[in-house]
Structure 1
Amino acid sequence: MDKHFVQTQKNDALLLAPGAHASIQFISQPEETSTASESALQLDSAAVIVIFFRIYQLGETLPSNDSVSMIPYETRMHITDESRLLDLVESLNSSLKLSSLIEESRLKQQIPLQELLLFLMENIRRNTETSDNIQAVKQTVAYIESHYKENITARQLYSIAGVAKWQYSNLFQSLTGKRPLDYVLDIRLKHAKRLLLHTDDTLAQIAHSVGFKDENYFSRKFKQTEGITPRQFAEASSVTSSSFVKEIPYKRIVAIGYSLGDLLSLGVTPVGADVETIGKRGLYWDAIKEVEDIGLLGEPAKIRELRPDLIVHTGFRQDWVDELTSIAPMVLIDRYEPVYSRIMQLAELLNRKKLADQWIYRHRTASKQMWRTLAKHVDVKQTATVFSVVEGNLYVIGLKGFGVTVYHPDGMQPPPKVKELMQAGIPFQLTRPEYARAYEADIHFILMDNDPRTIRLYKELMQSPYWNSKNTGQIIVSKNKYNFDDPLTMDKLLLEFPQMVLKKSYNQTHFL
């Protein structure tokens, strides 16, 4: 779907947005099953069922763009009850053969479609229902946020949840994006920053009041996480806060696509954004817990309910632009625009130009310093290829996301095939595992999510002769949350990247 790829498997369903166009490619033949002949609807070994329909609001003569309740656009739904799905499709297929001129026949054509949509809604609800264990883990997240000043241990947390230690850690990380004690640290530092900005307390007082055992430990952890000392943070923030006094001219901003991280970096939290797809994959999950999800494409009905006074659109598709502009003023920003230029466009709109100028200067300086420091330990002029595995799909990354930090004038170089992508202006490209050798480089970065299909593909890659021939220093595995190029992620990556390259703490076993 344009530059958006969705890899599906048997019994998957996708609801496409009105006017969307999709091409379908079978990348491998599914396994033959002995029960296929028993299904009500006979299918070839590789087949796709495509159903077109329109939705009309009561009394309207033109189709509506609003989505079917509870079924998000372009999100993969896996159907567990195959026989029920095929029964409904067969029933719908049979009803379409009836005469459309008879009122009774028209009703019979509507009922199977409605039953099919209801079946999809029920399937989504079952798949997204929160288990008792997840609820228990969520309660410990709330416990941390209200007891961060106290001594908190991992044993204490999974005991409160009543969940096995291994299961607790996995569930906690899937909910917050962080390990339990890392999350405790982040909460303490968040409150420490507030005290640094708004009180005259000493570092010792602040450290004690947010749960650190002493001032030295607090300062050490602060610098490891933020890259500067608490005092430097307070001084820089006082300068920054005095450098702009204008209020943001918009109170209720909706972010469509990849502007979410950019807005947050400028101190602006939107009222609506793509929380489920982009939000959960980024580093800023804690900051968007109160943000309403508007879907991957920015669905008009959901946005209208939020009553925004500005819509910032940096999505990969510009669906419903006319309808969205009737809801609120909208600014379109190219998601492939270089990050410094993209941030300045947004900053000028939001009266945050001085703040953006300061970040650009600091980031340029910090980037150069990182590469100069790293060059004392490794050959930073090596070639590097960045692969990203998302829901079992393998992508090669150009000058986008993680690649913006890696392919720095003072840093690593793209191999010939990646350079071709960059010269052609292609930010990333879907590829197949057997083609990975075409992007041969000195170092291979593999960014992953926790999807079972991703883990399965990664294991297959590592068992292939090509990847088996690499030594451990040539493969560095990390998380897809670093594959964004907003200021928040890029600043964090400057701290993490040397650890990846030097300590190799981001290795294969960390993810398996």
Structure 2
Amino acid sequence: MKNLTLADWDSAKLTIIHISKNPQLMPVITCNCIFGFIAQGSGEWELHHTPLLHHKNIFLIVRDPINIHVTQEPSSECLWIYCNVSFDNTISEPLEPLIFYDAPKHWLTLMDNINTQWEMHTDASKYKTKLYLAELIYEMYTLDSNRLHEEQLTSQTLDYINKHFHENLSRHTIAEKMNYSVSYLSKQFKYQTGYGLIDYLLHTRIKHAKRLLVETHHSIQEVSKQIGYEDSSYFTRLFKKHTGLTPGQYKRLYLPTSLVLNNPNFELKSSDVFNQGPLYNDNCYQYEGGFLPMKFNWNHTIVASFVLCAALLLTACTNNDTTKESEETMVYHSINGDITYKKNPQRIVTDFYLGYLLALDVKPVGSNEAQLKNPYIPEKDKKEIEVIGDSIEKVLSLEPDLIITGNKEMYEQLSKIAPTIYIEYEENIPKLIKEFGIILNRENLAQEWQKNYQQQVQTARQKIARIIKPEETITVMDILDGKGTITIYGDGYTGYPVYTGLGLQMAPAVKAETTIKTPWVQISSEKISDFVGDRVIVARAADTPKVDFTTAPVWKSLDVVKNNEVYEIDNFKFWFTDPISVIGQMNDLTDLFIERANDKKTK
């Protein structure tokens, strides 16, 4: 691969397409070059499927093919400039990405200046934008030659580890391949990335193991060999040390079994966050520290510390008057057996079911972060509800008298803290709200909610019946997943308010490829035409640029685009499936259809 020079840029033709703080590219945007700057902070980004670890200012420029995917939302400031660049005909080979792991902070100032001028949309500002960008490129290529060499050495080392992690590597073999001494390479790599060579090798192996466990049918032994460990027992011990789970437990936990684990496009919480402070040994790669697994990672060791306390509490409860107990408790017949708890619990903790509780006028004391960010739930209703995060200690500190969870794997751990009811998630809101009415001793409120829900459904359907014919088909898709694929939804998740709520018809291919258990399918952009119906609802992130479908490749030739029947929605708002959200989503969709119909009449 060829390294760009300042002379190459001098002869280049560069056009800025978009500038934003979102590092993900939509598949429909044509772009062959990115300038990116991530300010002081920690995080992990993925470029061409190669992780970019950083704990200092990082600047990068990369050419075709583009594939930047965020695996952890960083806490730091970032800015991305999406461009098209063409060089003279002497450059035909692929170009080496250029990454600076400790970039000067004033480069971010230059990029801010570029963004400011870009947003002004005047001829003068366009000219200044190019001037600032030229200054940035000049700064980049006039760094001290030794500094530039160190940056390139780190990039090459990262690339080598990511391509050969399955081989028998050590600090010595990596240094030998890079033609440097172990001490020099280790020092430079540590300085640039913040991590040791073996630390990063272990991180990479565990990362690939997680993917293989969830995305393939390989056995534990096969996964172990594919990431470089012949001894599957050692791999199992190592994996558990890093994740807190055995490979088998991790596979069962992260296969699609609940709302969060099923959804193909939502990753609010970080996955594979790399802890600092590891120790290593060249012979056996012993490691202290580890990873924080995605979604729920309850601290298993804490629970054991409170078993005695729980036993004492249970003993105290048995000393209460039997008659009084029968008056104040109730029994719920769950799939895990009979659960006895207070008849009107006052301190409930729930992970996935916040919307159900609030719909029945019950405010829990704790819930997870994703549910508390639900835009359909009024802020006043969220007050005084604490984020439980991934800490079982936090749940314990809230002193709950009832826990309602959708996490089957954590049922036993949670049940040691308080009576715990596991509710298996399903795409049937009226059925679940009835069940919650029983659990919360609010069956009358649940019945009232169901009546109100049916009324709102009928009202919404009547409104759109004048616009959408019964035989028309609808396709719901998400075109921003960071991996160049498109997610088509059936009657679940983003598709639920469309098909179950508004009663609209799926396109034939969508109906054929999705099921109730797996209400989504992922396709490449080339197959869009096979799945589009008479109308298409496209979900995208609110901070990404709107797409001009009339000029976008693949899309512009579709009848649904020519007929102006593509509707854009916020993919985060439509991720939630609960009583409160679905009503809001149906109303938003109804307004969207009516607004488009009115616009067509006026033209």
Unaligned runs of 5+ in 1: 1-6, 15-25, 54-61, 68-72, 80-84, 101-105, 118-246, 508-512
Shift of 1:290: 2.4
**Which letter maps to 2:348?**
I
Shift of 1:506: 12
- 2:367 matches 1:273: yes
- 2:382 matches 1:291: no
Q: 2:349 aligns with which of 246, 250, 254?
A: 254
CA distance in structure 1 between the partners assigned to 2:426 and 2:530 by the alignment: 24
- 2:163 matches 1:75: no
Shift of 1:248: 6.4
Shift of 1:63: 7.5
Equivalent residue runs for 1:151-170 within 5 Å: none
For 1:319, what is the secondary structure of its paired residue? Answer: helix
- 2:382 matches 1:345: no
Q: 1:97 aligns with which of 282, 288, 293?
A: 282
CA distance in structure 2 between the partners assigned to 1:399 and 1:442 by the alignment: 17
For 1:351, what is the secondary structure of its paired residue? Answer: coil
Q: 1:292 to 1:390 in 2, by over 3 A?
A: farther
Equivalent residue runs for 1:101-500 within 5 Å: 110=288, 113=289, 249-257=344-352, 259-275=353-369, 277-284=370-377, 286=379, 287-295=381-389, 298-315=390-407, 318-388=408-478, 392=482, 394-408=486-500, 411-423=503-515, 425-451=517-543, 455=544, 459=547, 464-469=552-557, 470-471=561-562, 473-480=564-571, 481-500=573-592
After superposition, give the CA deviation of every residue in 1:140-168 in whole Å (9 maximum; x if it has no partner).
Answer: xxxxxxxxxxxxxxxxxxxxxxxxxxxxx
CA distance in structure 1 between the partners assigned to 2:356 and 2:430 by the alignment: 10
Which position in structure 1 is the counterpart of 2:75?
none
Does the 8 A contact of 1:395 with 1:429 survive in 2? yes
Shift of 1:64: 11
CA distance in structure 1 between the partners assigned to 2:481 and 2:594 by the alignment: 28
Q: 1:365 to 1:308 in 2, by over 3 A?
A: same
Does the 8 A contact of 1:372 with 1:410 survive in 2? no
Shift of 1:390: 6.0
Q: 1:269 to 1:448 in 2, by over 3 A?
A: farther
**Which letter maps to 1:438?**
D
Does the 8 A contact of 2:498 with 2:586 survive in 1? no
CA distance in structure 2 between the partners assigned to 1:328 and 1:27 by the alignment: 49
**Which letter maps to 1:441?**
G
Structure number having the greater strand percentage: 2
Does the 8 A contact of 2:488 with 2:520 survive in 1? yes
After superposition, give the CA deviation of every residue in 1:70-128 in whole Å (9 maximum; x if it has no partner).
Answer: xxx9833799xxxxx9xx99x958x321689xxxxx8xx65xx59x99xxxxxxxxxxx
**Which letter maps to 2:270?**
R
**Which letter maps to 2:565?**
Q
Shift of 1:355: 1.3
**Which letter maps to 2:568?**
V
Greater C-alpha Rg: 2
- RMSD of aligned residue pairs (Cα, Å): 4.3
**Which letter maps to 2:153?**
E
Q: 1:358 to 1:99 in 2, by over 3 A?
A: closer
- 2:49 matches 1:9: no
Does the 8 A contact of 1:388 with 1:396 survive in 2? yes
Give TM-score scaled by structure 1 length: 0.52
**Which letter maps to 2:410?**
W
CA distance in structure 2 between the partners assigned to 1:493 and 1:44 by the alignment: 44
Structure number having the greater helix percentage: 1
For 1:478, what is the secondary structure of its paired residue? Answer: strand
After superposition, give the CA deviation of every residue in 1:193-227 in whole Å (9 maximum; x if it has no partner).
Answer: xxxxxxxxxxxxxxxxxxxxxxxxxxxxxxxxxxx
CA distance in structure 1 between the partners assigned to 2:469 and 2:524 by the alignment: 29
CA distance in structure 2 between the partners assigned to 1:369 and 1:420 by the alignment: 29
Identity of aligned residues (%): 21
After superposition, give the CA deviation of every residue in 1:319-376 in whole Å (9 maximum; x if it has no partner).
Answer: 3322111111111112224111111111110011111112212222331232233222
Which position in structure 2 is the counterpart of 1:33?
97
CA distance in structure 1 between the partners assigned to 2:284 and 2:595 by the alignment: 71
Which position in structure 2 is the counterpart of 1:242?
none
Does the 8 A contact of 2:405 with 2:411 survive in 1? no
**Which letter maps to 1:294?**
I
Shift of 1:381: 3.4
Q: 1:98 to 1:465 in 2, by over 3 A?
A: closer
Q: 2:158 aligns with which of 27, 30, 43?
A: 43
Unaligned runs of 5+ in 2: 1-43, 55-64, 70-94, 100-150, 166-199, 208-239, 246-266, 293-341
Does the 8 A contact of 2:491 with 2:516 survive in 1? no
For 2:530, what is the secondary structure of its paired residue? Answer: helix
